Structure 1
Amino acid sequence: MQQYVIYTRVSTEDQGRSGLGLEAQERDIAVFLDKFSEVPFEIIGEFRDVQSGSDADRPELAKALELVRRTGAELLVAKLDRLSRKVSFIATLMDDKRVKLRVAQMPQADKFQLHIYAALAEQERTFISERTKAALKAAKDRGVQLGGLRDKTMKRNEAIQTKANAEAERLIRIIGPLKASGQTLSAIAETLDTMLVPTSRGGRWTAKQVSRVLERVEAS
């Protein structure tokens, strides 16, 4: 029987508490197990770190790898960057004959392909970092006050989030009972349009917009 050890990672404590990022990883892993895994299979362990992928000391990953080496199970991650953002770390792992790695988003990829992908991803991150630095330097040379702009942007984003949260709290008084009665998201959207309840932009409701209201309220 195929055995898996599942490893997930989020970058901050806030993400760990709210579930942001975890849901997507769990969904990708579920799709892999349902559509691409050998059957039957068994999950013999699940581990999760709440810290940056650049941190070398990740205790839960260490536990996952120990279990993989001891049992011969495959280490299953949603994306390669959940394992590490450092190509050197991934390369070292690839060389470990006791570690079998499977990436849900690339179900057919072998070790060589994963190594190449990790190297390309690291190169892209380096380029983006250098491009950002160059843009900030150019703005500074033009006399732009970078700190002030950042503060204004943060305040504007906070105001937008506060407004969106208040609107969601108002809408949930209508959407909540409809959802509790068993209506689908599409049916709720039609009901809101029938009631002439406007969206934030004044358009027609969609199932996705209803879903966003529910997700915002749950996360608040």
Structure 2
Amino acid sequence: MQGSDRVKRLRKRAAAKPAAKDVLKPRVVAYLRVSTEGQFSDGHGLDVQERAVRAFALSQGHQIVEVITDCVSGATPPGEREGFRRVLDLAGEGAFTILLLYKFDRLARNVLHAVTSVHELRDRHGIVIRSVTEPIDTATPMGEMIFTVLASMAAQERQVITERTFGGRREKATKGGFAGGAAPYGYQRDKDGGLLVVEHEAAVVRRIFSERAEGRTLQAIAAGLNADGLRSKRGGLWQVSSVAYLADNPKYRGVVEYLFTWNGADTHVLREGQHMPIILP
């Protein structure tokens, strides 16, 4: 017994539906960002962000075109980031319609940068920006207003953190403590953030100060260190600039010196340090 052509057409149409559905899936680009200040393990690392955006895209039936990452401070304008420039290139090609973020603050800490980026993507390319952890749709006036408020709050939070960090470093320096940064050659950081003498490097520091006191030029000192196979802090050859910087560093005499600049005002700190001097008076 032979079936009708009508049933064949229905079956063919039904088989074609999944393929059509795949074609109509919203195309999205996932944009992930961590700062260069080491926020890889604070609960918002790239792996955490990627798992979240992929799970969200799957739950919404979205097709991820590309996952783009930036390892840069949120204070850097999006247009100056290598990864985000890739986002703009894909937007210009019409490759996607939704930009997925883990949180809106991954876009930018600066309110103006964040809002400008949202407007540019929406107005020029018809791109909607969505956060997988914050239920806001920037395609709607209400969603855009809420986004602007959130962006402002993120900027304020960043400002508070920066002020607190600056205040802490300045307070530590005024008490003679090492106020952050890489330990200078001849020292290493201890568990409390102070400085401990590294004796084999300290011997090189004493040599540099001694030869400088004898009247040797910076070039001659650097050449002598290199000829003897001694290497700088990073394992490279000694340069005139690195010898000069070391010879001018008061920390080797047991003194800490910092120039803090905040809101246009300078604070000069010069104190006897809490660490052990390498060069004795």
TM-score range, shorter chain: 0.5 to 0.7
Question: Is the 8 Å Cα contact of residues 57 and 63 (structure 2) preserved in structure 1?
Answer: no
Structure 2 residue matching 1:146: 3-state secondary structure:
coil
Structure number, greater radius of gyration:
2
1:68 maps to 2:103: no
**Is it true that 1:85 corresponds to 2:109 in the alignment?**
yes
CA 139–50 in structure 1, closer or farther in 2 if over 3 Å, else same: closer
RMSD: 3.4
Q: Distance in 2 between matches of 1:117 and 1:46?
A: 24
Letter of the 2:82 counterpart: P
Unaligned runs of 5+ in 1: 159-220
Note if 1:118 corresponds to 2:151. yes
SS of 2:91 mapped into structure 1: helix
Choose from 191, 199, 202 the match for 1:156. Answer: 191
1:5 Cα offset (Å): 0.9
DSSP-derived class of the 1:4 partner: strand
SS at match of 1:115: helix
**1:146 aligns to what?**
178
2-side partners of 1:137 and 1:157: how far apart? 16
The change in CA–CA distance for 1:48 and 1:13 in structure 2 (over 3 A counts) is farther
2:40 counterpart of 1:7: no
Matches of 1:31 and 1:42, distance apart in 2: 11
Q: Mind listing any 5+ residue stretches in structure 2 that lack a counterpart?
A: 1-24, 138-142, 194-281
% identical equivalent positions: 28
More strand by share: 2
Cα deviation 1:149-198 (Å, max 9, x = unaligned): x969943279xxxxxxxxxxxxxxxxxxxxxxxxxxxxxxxxxxxxxxxx
Asked whether 1:107 is paired with 2:165, we answer no
**Structure with a larger share of its residues in helix:** 1
Q: 1:133 to 1:47 in 2, by over 3 A?
A: closer
TM-score normalised by structure 2 residue count: 0.45
- Counterparts of 1:24 and 1:58 in 2: how far apart (Å)? 21
Question: Which residue identity lines up with residue 101 of structure 1 in the other structure?
Answer: I
CA distance in 1, matches of 2:164, 2:34: 25
Q: Matches of residues 195-214 of structure 1 in structure 2 within 5 Å?
A: none
User: Structure 1 residues 131, 9: closer, same or farther in 2, change over 3 A?
Assistant: closer
